[in-house]
Each structure stands twice: as structure tokens, then as C-alpha cells.
Structure 1
Amino acid sequence: MTPSQLYAVVEATWPAAQTVERGCWTIRDGQGGGKRVSAATARTDAITAADLPAAESAMRALGQTPLFMIRAGDEALDTLLAGAGYGVIDPVNIHLAPVSELNAPQPHSTSFAIWEPLAIQIDMWATGGIGPDRVAVMRRAQCPKTSILARDGQRAAATAYVGLHDGVAMVHALEVTPHCRRRGMGRRVMLRAAAWARENGATHIAAVCTQENAAANALYASLGMALVGQYHYRIKEEAGPT
């Protein structure tokens, strides 16, 4: 799959509250849902320094710090932003595999695909820093979707959100409770997500995570998911009142 296809999957499965095309930019209103739904992206590779103020003003008008997503093909924009004082933040890896590759048997009644998420899942996400604004992103997604709940015995152990677009089921917000880590719970979630994906006609399963998240990157590699793309953000911190 091409990088542009995977970026479209990210966009459809983790959508901004509103997206507006303004000149050579796509501006996103994230409403607190994180960088992925708040970053501006270029609609052309012919961006110049004269184009930056329009994007910056549009983001500030939304109460957002100027932030840009840099994808494959955005190398000139990356250089331009670096020269304008924008620093790199949160480089992200994209992992992908055919759903047929994640087809191992699981213990009976230890993981479930559920929509809407249960209160215990909302609590697990909140404990991991995935608060109401990010849960709102999941709820407003218009694609086929589900959440995954995995149990360790009788206790809730892990959760994730999965959205499906263009044959790809993308896993977001994978969270394992601290007392259940290193017990295979993340793998259990991914296998259930892949089963749901197959049942709903997906050909591939994907996941995104920051390059700093060693545990998640190791999990996806152990499942045979290939590293197929990357992106990062550039941010310019605004000076506050003195």
C-alpha cells in the first residue's frame, strides 16, 4: 500500500472535528483530540515561507498552537519549517500486515469486540492519558469501528479502538493496565482486532505509534507487522504572557 493510502486510513479512522481547505493548506479542528487531529497538512509541494502565516493564523483562531504534520513527500516543507523555528516532535511509525498473518488461536472468552466501549474501557484509557476528547474522536468516526476489551482472568486488562477504511483496520489507543503488562495482553488485543477485521472484510491490519514507544513497536514487530511508513510533526511553541 502507498503512504498516501495509509494516511487516508489514519484520517478516516481518527478524524478531526472539522477539516477546512484554506489555500494550500488543510486545517484541522482537533478539539483537544491530540496532534493527529489538530495538525495542518500541505495540499501541494510548492509551499513557500509566504504561505505559513495563513496556516498559523487559522490554527491560532481555533485556539491551537501552530502544528504541521510532515509526511512522505513533504521534505521541502520540513526544511522550510525547520528554518522558521519549528522543532520536530513525536515521530510516528506505521505498521502493517495482512490480516491472515494474525490468525493465532486465543483462549476462550478472554477478548471481545464491543461497540460502544464499556465504562471500564473508558477508565483504562483515562488512566493511560487517553481522555474524553480522544474518546470523542472515536465516537465521531463514520467508518466501521469497534473497541477491543481483553481480560486477564476476571479482570479487565487491555483495550483498544479499531476503525476500518479502504480494506485496512487501523488500531488506535492500545492501552494495557500497568498490573497486566508483560503478560501478552497487547498481543491478545491485536489478535482479536485482526479477527474483527477479517469478519468485516478487511485485508490488512495497521497500527501507528510513536517511535519512542519501544513496547508498542516491539509488539507489532513480534506479530510480523512490517514498518511501512513514518511521519512526524513540527511545532512552534507560542510565547505566553510575560
Structure 2
Amino acid sequence: MSFNKFPPKPKYDPNDGPVYLYGLHTVRAALDNPLRVKKELLATPNALSRLNEIGQIGKVKVRETTPKELDRLLGGDAVHQGAALEVEPVSRFGLNDVKQLRLVVVLDQLTDPHNVGAILRTACAFGADAVITTARHSPQETGVMAKAASGALDLVPMIEVTNLASAIETLKERGLIVLGFDSDAPAPLRPRTDDRPMAVVLGAEGKGLRQRTRELCDEMVRLDMPGPIKSLNVSNAAAIALFAATAGRQE
């Protein structure tokens, strides 16, 4: 494949401008997602070769670049591995768009893109059918979130809702038990022994779940930790919660 050569792009601003996904796993997942609108692939010759080893590039325009140019475009902290893909943000789903809901992760106003991305990656690993976020007080898609998700942003449907309480009630109507996590909950988390569909609800670090969200949960549990550190990053807590939630699954 031949490269197209163009003038340098202006420095990327994740809060105002095009969306760039970067890193080989993230870019490959986006290239493989037929629902993703892909504008331009910026890649070094070595990165393009590695991407081609895994799958087809498709009809996306390819621009030759260098690691230095990608550092300038994305910032020195971006671990791009020689590849960045300019895209339209992934389409958000509605609850009715996902027909099967056996395992859902619900995020109550989590705003940190690193945490949301890491939770997406964990949700994908445990076979979650969707991740629900609020329309307000949740991060928009950025390269930071996509990199933390390591491709899961293109693999797990993200459902954005304006009214989280109504969404939780809908999940219950569809047969899911709703399990909320709070450090002051009366019962400790135990591995599930049943195979009932479940929604795992996590709140923002510091604030936790809002009162109305807690009221709608069928069960409230806490993570007991015997060590000297008594709290975990919410993305770490999500991994433990999903492991426990799926312990009784019959594959």
C-alpha cells in the first residue's frame, strides 16, 4: 500500500477537535468495526505493516508519519505505537438497541476517562452486553478513554441515558437483578451462585452512588478488604465486582 503525504496536522485537542484513537489494539479494533466512521489513518511504515498482519486496512485514507510527528500531534504522554486513526465518535446505543442483556455495567456519573476506559476493557473481558453511562457527568470519547479501553470501545455497546433511574427500572423490567456497590452497604460482596441476569452499578470515586440510584438497587454490597488499604480505584473495584457477578454463570 502506498502512503499519501500531506502537510503536518495541528496539535490534537481532545476537548475541541477531531477524535484520534491511538495504539495498535485500539486502532485495529476501530478498523474492524463496520459501524465506526473512519476518516484517516496516520501510521509509520512499521505500524502499518503490523496492522496489515492482523487484518485489512480497508478504504480508509492512509497518511505516512513518524513517531516524532505523532508525539507532536497527540502529546508526549500518548502511547501511540506509531498509529493514530481519526474517527467520528462511536455511535451511542439506546436500551432498546441491545436485545440480549445478561450482564450490564451501569456507571453513575463517572467522569474520569481513564476509569471509564478501564471499566470498558474489564466489561468486555467478562462478556458484558453493554455499559450504561449518563448523558451528563460522563466523559466524551477521547483517545485517552479509547486507549484505556484497549479496543473495547468498539466491542461493547455504550448506552447513554438522560435519566439513570428510569434506565435502571427498565433493566429490572427486563429481568435483571440490580446490584449496587457502596462502601457503607450492609452486606459484603459474595460470589454469585445463580445465573440470573445482572446489572452491576458503580458510582464515582468519592461521591459513590446517588441516593435515588441506591434506592432502586435490589441489593447493596460493599467490598471488604482485610489489608491496610481500605479502598480501590473504581476500575479495580469493577473487575472484582464482575468476577463475583459472573461466578455462577453457566456457559
User: What TM-score comes out, normalization by structure 2 length?
Assistant: 0.24
Q: Point out the structure with max Rg over C-alpha.
A: 2
Greater strand fraction, Structure 1 or Structure 2: 1
